[in-house]
Structure formats: C-alpha cells, structure tokens
Amino acid sequence: MTTPPSPGVYPHVPFEQYLAWDLPSQSILKAMRQSPAHYRAARAGIATVKVTDDMTLGSALHTVFLEPELAMEAVTIWRGKARRGAEWDGFKDENDGKYILTMVQHEKLVGMSRSLRAHQFVREWTGRMEATEVSVVGEAHGLLMKARVDALTDEPLVDLKKVRSCDERTITRTILDFGYHVQAYIYATLFKRDRFVLLCVEADEPYDVVPFELSPAFLREGEREAKRLIGKVLACERASNWPGRSDSAVPVLLEPPDWLIEDPGITIGAESASGDDDTHHS
C-alpha cells in the first residue's frame, strides 16, 4: 500500500496506483455489511476475490466502451475449446495483463458496445465527458475514502453496469443487494455532484440499454446506510476491535422463514420442506 494523495480529483491515475492508495473505497466499506472482521480483511487485501468470466467481460466492456483506443492492446480472444492444457497455459502467458475472452464473450462485448453507442442518452453523455477513469480522495462522514468513476461530467455522474435484466423491479433489487445506492451517495459526495445514473446494459440479446437515475430518496437511503457503516468503522478503529458476525458464547438461534412455515410442502433441492425424501424407499 502507498500513501494516498491529498483530498482532490485526480485524472489519468493508473488503476494499479489507485488500488495501492491506502484508503477504503465504497466496495471495501460495504464489506462492513457482513461484519467488522470482513471489512478489516477487505481493507487489508486479505479477502480474496475470484475473478469470474462475468467480471472479466464487465471489465473488458468498461475498457472498450470508455477507452476504445485501448481495445486492441487490452482485449484478446481465445479461439480454442477447453480453457486448460498446455495450449491454454501458453496463450495465457502470452497475453498476460489482457482480458482474455471466449468467442461467445467477445460477441456479447460487441453487442453491448453497439447498443450503448446507439442509445440517445449515451451519445449525449459521451459528448460531455471531461475525462475517463477519474480518481478522487475525499471525506464522507469523518472517514477519508477513495473512489474512481468511469467518466467525469458535470451532472450527472454515470456508472456503467453490465446486468442480466434492465427490468425496473430487478434493477431495484440489484441496487439494494449490491449497495449501489451506497456507491451513488459516496461518489456524489466525493465528486461533489447531486445526481447519479446507473447506465445499465443487458449482457444478452437484444443488449437492451436503460439509464436509471437514482432519485433523491434513493440517495438519502444510500447516505443513511453509508453513515451507519462508516460509524461502525470509526467505532472499531477507536476500540481496535474487529469482531465477526457473532462473538457471543450463546449460539445464534435460527428460525425458519415465515413462507416456509406457511407452506411446508415446498420442495427445496432434493428434499421437501416437510422432511420427506423425494426418492421412494421400499
């Protein structure tokens, strides 16, 4: 880790340099949703993140869409079959540092990029970009933090998200599950903006694109949760104590959910909720 710069906005900072700044980001802060121990592990870089195909495709999309001039040197295609064996290992070594996509993934990448560029909101937004991949250091409720936005414009801030569905109910649940409203509040605070848009594109045909602006009420909910999480961070720092989910001598009593009690015949996996095997024994 390296000493971060003074509070301010910093364009053109390499991603690796940004990651090395010894400050929490909104994604690290959200680890406090699980427990202080999870936050501390994320903060120290101990918590490992397995890079999935989905994450690789998302990262490639950000690069190709926001910095198309880097596409050729940032992305390559694996045209083989199984991603194992000597040929695959050699290909990985030759393309170290690049996003390696399968042919199916590359087709999705092209489809998403085309849909984004054809959308009216996106065309207007890209025409106002001041810079891409801009980093910032600032304070939120007493905690010095860092953030990095896809592209900096006056209003609104925009963050590109690859999603399974642009259905409004699905997106609302995704925002709450992944804490995107917390991200929106932190970004708006550090970059001193009032509005935040999630630019969502579906990862499958027809690669639908919908920009969702988080309402003032959603941003207030983001602030409420961010303030709660930051308060826990500051309290743990003062106490030098980072407990897990439970440090009690008493076991956590686990109760069945209401929906399970109301309908005991619901089948879960290979067993029914009433305890009967769905295989018959003589």
- The domain locations on the chain are 12-44+119-238, 67-113
Task: Specify the pLDDT at position 47.
Answer: 57
- What are the DSSP calls for 75-102, one per residue? EEEE-SSSS-HHHHHHHHHHTTTSEEEE
pLDDT at 41: 94
CB 65 within 8 A of CB 150: no
Helix axis angle, 168-178 relative to 180-190, nearest 10°?
A: 70
Q: 232: Cβ–Cβ under 8 A, 6 or more apart, which residues?
A: 32, 36, 39
Give me the pLDDT at residue 9, please. Answer: 95
- Cα gap 159→27, rounded to integer Å: 14
Are 114 and 201 in contact, with CB atoms under 8 Å apart? Answer: no
- The residues pairing with 139 across neighbouring beta strands, listed in sequence order, are 144
User: Can you give the pLDDT at residue 281?
Assistant: 47
What six digits make up the tokens of 266?
């619901």
| pLDDT score, position 28 | 96
Per-residue burial over 127-144, b = 16 or more CB atoms within 10 Å of its CB, e = otherwise:
eeeeebbbbbbbebbebe
Do residues 163 and 198 lie in contact, with contact meaning Cβ atoms separated by under 8 Å?
no
> Would you state the CATH architecture of domain 12-44+119-238?
Alpha-Beta Complex (3.90)
What's the one-letter identity of residue 271?
Answer: E
φ and ψ of 144, to 5 deg: -75, 130
Cα 161-167-169 angle, rounded to 5 deg: 105
* Whole-number Å distance between alpha carbons of 66 and 199: 13
Tens digit of pLDDT at every position of the chain (282 positions) = 899 999 999 998 888 899 999 999 999 999 999 999 999 999 988 656 677 888 899 889 988 888 888 788 889 899 988 888 888 888 889 888 888 999 999 999 999 999 999 999 999 998 888 888 899 999 999 999 999 987 888 889 999 999 999 999 999 999 999 999 999 999 999 999 999 999 999 999 999 999 999 999 999 999 999 999 999 999 999 999 999 998 888 999 999 988 888 765 555 554 444 444 444 444
Collapsing DSSP to helix, strand or coil, 139 comes out as: strand
pLDDT for position 233: 98
DSSP code, position 11? T
**Looking at residue 130, what is its pLDDT?**
81
Tokens 């092209």 belong to residue: 110
CA distance 95 to 198: 31
Do the bridges between strand 209-213 and strand 267-268 make them parallel or antiparallel, or are there none, so unpaired?
unpaired
